[in-house]
Amino acid sequence: MTATFPARPGWAQGGAATGANYTADASAPPWRSGSAERPLQPVNLLELEEAAARVIPAAGFDYIAGGAGDEWTLRENRAAFERRQIVQRVLTGKVVADTATEILGTPIALPTIVAPMGGQAIAHVSAEAGTARGAAAAGTLHTVSTVATLSLEDAARAADGPKWFQIYLTRDDGFNAELLQRARAAGYGAIVLTVDVPIVGNRERDRRNGFVYPPAAAPRNFLDAAGRLRPIERAFQPRLDADSIAFVRRHGGLPVVVKGIATAEDALLALDAGAAAIQVSNHGGRQLDGAPAAFTVLPEVAAAVQGRVPLILDGGIRRGADVFKALASGADVVALGRPVLYGLALGGWQGVQSVFQHLEDELRTVMQLAGAATVADIRRTRLYG
Ligand SMILES: Cc1cc2nc3c(=O)[nH]c(=O)nc-3n(C[C@H](O)[C@H](O)[C@H](O)COP(=O)(O)O)c2cc1C
Ligand SMILES: CCCCC(=O)C(=O)O
């Protein structure tokens, strides 16, 4: 594995994020968090978290890494992958061809895309521009959050890779419609409607730290004409149903991915309302603590959907083996959350690219040892357990 995460300045040192300065990264020194005695060279994505904890200011790191309540669901998102096993197949005569696939008609180099995450200037001064560029360099798709640091237009301009816009509906339908029209005008290919944040979960690390987004990470989409920030959290729409999906379809005029589905019932409601894809997710354990892992509920959702729309899974993906298990259990692609921000914090856009390259390397090794030459082969593979 040769993935590297060259060091970059973080938001604390870098000042306000504009996205304009991410190209200056090329001359960066080696890992900021390493030292002569102890050079830092993570060999897997799990090790990135500890490294990122040393470069992201503590309360910002807690916001990113943390979950709701006891963080049981956060841990369970990982543990659920550990309970399933991959079948070793070495006499199939197959050799890994490639990891390429597509999602909603968009070709991607590997079956892993970027999950929407707000406030990316908390991790790095380049914010969503760095993530967009890293994802494009890795040949994958980037999802820009409603509460991104950069405006959706600036995030869209940062790279020419494929991109989706994630929307949180607020109580203000005029503002919602405006956001959707802006997203379409800016060239986003789909709208991801997140339905698992009718209210923000009980995030105890954030309460303990008194955490709010720092001014450098203020979500630009919420600035009013006078440049003032509109209130955000209290503005979220708690009442979500089939009409919410119809609203987003009508005003966005784009395919709608419904994100935050964890049951057959909600999946069927979303399908009936015209969802173009379903993202199985518990928001990375940040919302309903005590809910099962996203991977645990994936087969239930897959059985209900019966291939009528593609399924995306997120939550706890850290290894190529996790990607493999998710695809073998009914997902078409997976989305990656926190490791993207850790790569961004440690290496700017190149750090993000390295995260995806690393995952692709691991996935190729697993595929070869499990007798899968293509993504389609993975989806036909059975697991133990
Ligand atoms: C710091 C952070 C911010 C997030 N912001 C959003 C967001 O704005 N919109 C959204 O739909 N999901 C958001 N999520 C949830 C992710 O899209 C995704 O569901 C989750 O992080 C996946 O789990 P993982 O981090 O274990 O890969 C956020 C997650 C994190 C860690
Ligand atoms: C108010 C929530 C904003 C971002 C988000 O979805 C998260 O932190 O999980």
278-310 per-position pLDDT tens digit: 999 999 999 999 999 999 999 999 999 999 999
Report which protein residue has its CA nearest ligand 2's atom 9.
286
Closest-lying ligand 1 atom to the alpha carbon of residue 78: 26
Would residue 291 count as lying in a domain? yes
Residues tagged in the binding site annotation for glyoxylate? 63, 168, 203, 283, 286
Query: What is the number of domains present in the chain?
Result: 1
Cα–ligand 2 centroid distance for 325 (angstroms) = 27
Would residue 124 count as lying in a domain? yes
Report which protein residue has its CA nearest ligand 2's atom 8.
118
Cα–ligand 2 centroid distance for 36 (angstroms) = 37
- pLDDT(26) > 90: no
Judge if the beta carbon of residue 235 lies within 6 A of ligand 2: no
The domain that holds 26 is classified in CATH as 3.20.20.70
Confidence at 40, pLDDT banded by 50, 70, 90: low
Would residue 4 count as lying in a domain? no
Judge if the beta carbon of residue 284 lies within 6 A of ligand 1: yes
Residues tagged in the binding site annotation for FMN? 116-118, 145, 166, 194, 259, 281, 314-318, 337-338
Would residue 3 count as lying in a domain? no
Q: Is 0.90 surpassed by the pTM of this model?
A: yes
- pLDDT for the residue numbered 224: 80
The ligand that comes nearest to the alpha carbon of residue 314 is 1
Confidence at 228, pLDDT banded by 50, 70, 90: confident
Residue among 63, 117, 205, 288 whose CB has most ligand 2 atoms within 8 A, to mutate: 117
283 included as an active-site residue: yes
Residues 134, 22: contact at Cβ < 8 Å?
no
Which single residue is written with the structure tokens 């008194």? 210
The ligand that comes nearest to the alpha carbon of residue 116 is 1
Range of 147's domain?
Answer: 11-384
- pLDDT for the residue numbered 23: 37
Judge if the beta carbon of residue 78 lies within 6 A of ligand 1: no
Separation CA 2–CA 107 (nearest Å): 25
Judge if the beta carbon of residue 317 lies within 6 A of ligand 1: yes
Report which protein residue has its CA nearest ligand 1's atom 2.
117
285-306 burial by CB neighbour count: b if 16+ within 10 A, else e?
A: bbbbbebbbbbbbbebbbebbe
Sequence-distant (6+) residues with CB within 8 A of 92 are: 371
Please state the rounded mean pLDDT for residues 305-325: 98
- Closest listed residue to residue 192, CA positions, set 244, 134, 128, 145: 145
Confidence at 24, pLDDT banded by 50, 70, 90: very low
Residues 236, 197: contact at Cβ < 8 Å?
yes
- pLDDT for the residue numbered 39: 52
Would residue 201 count as lying in a domain? yes
pLDDT, the chain, mean: 91
- Closest listed residue to residue 67, CA positions, set 233, 282, 290, 284: 284
Would residue 289 count as lying in a domain? yes
Would residue 322 count as lying in a domain? yes
Separation CA 59–CA 69 (nearest Å): 17
Would residue 348 count as lying in a domain? yes
Confidence at 36, pLDDT banded by 50, 70, 90: low
